[in-house]
Structure 1
Amino acid sequence: VYSLPSKKLAVLQIRSPFIKNKYRPFCQTLLSWVKSSKCARVVLLSSSHAYQRDDEQLLGTPLRYLLTPDLEKAVGGLMQELKWKEMEKVAAYPGINDTEKVLHIPGGGITKLLFTESCSKGIQMAVLLKFCSEGDNIPDAFVLVNYLNEWLQLIKSEVSASNNSTDTSSQWKIPSSWRLLFGNGLPPALF
């Protein structure tokens, strides 16, 4: 758990997989805590398997968002101004019935459950996600948090003089749990 009291921000990082049949009670407990804590809004950063994108999702940005109806009323227009792309719904039965569309987030863990439960409980939630591949996803994490920063302006973006673009990646504090994410480095005696 990380917090930034000056911004009234709390961050919960969940990196471990859930035990079968335990994810639903976890989601219910987490959302009950969100409601009892009177959180103004919840922003869920997640990912989805890049290899399971449909044709439409292969075009353009690998970033998507979802808003619960309660949050849509408050910030939906801003998402349009930012020119963000909403997560597409896909055919429930591809090739058989393409008219019935459902939300599908392959590899997103509890993301869909948290989102749908938040919709039904009236919780203001935004889901920001990135299509990712296997491997080192630290660069993907920076892309995702910079995407979040476009909206919430948590830190000031510095304009790079060399290419006139904004990059906040160097300003984020990397969680200590990311050190040795893939084990120890190679021993120098090897070379």
Structure 2
Amino acid sequence: MAQVNHWKILTDCDFTGYTLVIPSVAVGNVGQLAGDLIISSLHMTKIGIIYSPALIPISGYDPYKIGSNSISSCCELYQCAERKVAILLLRAPLVYKYANQFLTEVVDKFKAENVKDIVILTSSFAHERKHIMTSPFRYVVNDVCLYTSKLRTLDWVEHETKGEPVKILGGGFASLLFEITKEKSVPCFLLYKFASEGDNIPDAYEMVQYLNTVIPLFNDSDLFTQLVPPVSWNLMYGGPPPKNIY
């Protein structure tokens, strides 16, 4: 059976000049958590829902507003018109068999919509960090990336590429998506952090800080006072232990 992807666009939007951020489902979910933090802090609006055989079907409460009648699904598109940024947030891994076709369609669709560039946020296994005295962050850019010069002035550590294609172990679909952007000549900047499973909320805050250095999403004043954790983080690791067990 041929794959069919359905894009349910809730609000019309002209994506010309937008930056599209796509967090990958990866070790520690650092990219996803950073995406959550940006969506909550910028009060972004949900403007689209995607259905595809590549997506594991899940649903849940609105992760950003208590008492909302909205239901969240596996793959949703959020927009901040003021900052000209959109986030395509996935909440489950892609089905490997359909991943390439799905991600290719995503890149093709937003290229046709005239997005300025694509940013991929992800993470990699902590034990893959070979030089422990350097920053835990790494970046990758393709040949048409808009931020290459700026990144070099920041003196960040670039991903150590050993042959092609780029491989980020533990990074989920990030490597595949990056290669598709190269093939389609869409400007792309990939940022990842070495991480382990556990409480990765501090990693998410740090990733947003790094991203904001390259792409100003927040005002120049104190960044952390502008970041609003989503309500879905309140019981991320369950409630406190019941007192009657002591």
Alignment TM-score > 0.5, same fold: yes
C-alpha change, 1:175 and 1:28, in structure 2 (3 Å) is farther
How far is the alpha carbon of 1:154 from its aligned partner? Answer: 1.5
C-alpha change, 1:179 and 1:15, in structure 2 (3 Å) is farther
Single out whichever of 130-139 and 26-35 deviates more from structure 2. 26-35
C-alpha distance in 2 between matches for 1:157 and 1:190: 48
Does 1:30 find its partner at 2:85? no
How far is the alpha carbon of 1:77 from its aligned partner? Answer: 1.3
| Matched letter for residue 2 of structure 1 | Y
Match of 1:76 in 2: 148
Backbone CA RMSD of aligned residues: 2.0
Q: 1:128 aligns with which of 166, 172, 191?
A: 191
Q: 1:5 aligns with which of 47, 59, 81?
A: 81
Match of 2:91 in 1: 15
How many percent of aligned residue pairs carry the same amino acid? 32
| Matched letter for residue 50 of structure 1 | A
TM-score, normalised via structure 1 length: 0.79
Single out whichever of 29-38 and 39-48 deviates more from structure 2. 29-38
In the TM superposition, 1:46-57 aligns within 5 A as: 46-54=122-130, 57=131
In the TM superposition, 1:1-191 aligns within 5 A as: 1-54=77-130, 57-71=131-145, 74-90=146-162, 103-158=166-221, 168-191=223-246
C-alpha change, 1:109 and 1:157, in structure 2 (3 Å) is same
C-alpha change, 1:176 and 1:29, in structure 2 (3 Å) is farther
How far is the alpha carbon of 1:129 from its aligned partner? Answer: 0.8
C-alpha change, 1:105 and 1:88, in structure 2 (3 Å) is same
C-alpha distance in 2 between matches for 1:68 and 1:177: 34
Indicate conservation of the 8 Å contact 2:165/2:179, yes or no: no
C-alpha distance in 1 between matches for 2:181 and 2:164: 20
| Matched letter for residue 226 of structure 2 | Q
| Matched letter for residue 81 of structure 2 | P
How far is the alpha carbon of 1:102 from its aligned partner? Answer: 5.7
How far is the alpha carbon of 1:35 from its aligned partner? Answer: 1.2
How far is the alpha carbon of 1:105 from its aligned partner? Answer: 0.5
How far is the alpha carbon of 1:101 from its aligned partner? Answer: 6.8
Match of 1:96 in 2: none
C-alpha distance in 2 between matches for 1:117 and 1:107: 18
Single out whichever of 33-42 and 11-20 deviates more from structure 2. 11-20
| Matched letter for residue 80 of structure 1 | R
How far is the alpha carbon of 1:29 from its aligned partner? Answer: 2.1
Single out whichever of 30-39 and 171-180 deviates more from structure 2. 171-180
Pairs aligned (count): 170
Structure with the largest fraction of helix: 1
Consecutive unaligned residues of structure 1, counting only runs of 5 or more, are: 91-99, 159-166
How far is the alpha carbon of 1:181 from its aligned partner? Answer: 2.0
Match of 1:161 in 2: none
C-alpha distance in 2 between matches for 1:176 and 1:124: 33
How far is the alpha carbon of 1:87 from its aligned partner? Answer: 0.8
Q: Match of 1:150, SS?
A: helix
Consecutive unaligned residues of structure 2, counting only runs of 5 or more, are: 1-76
Indicate conservation of the 8 Å contact 2:147/2:214, yes or no: no
Q: Match of 2:127, SS?
A: helix
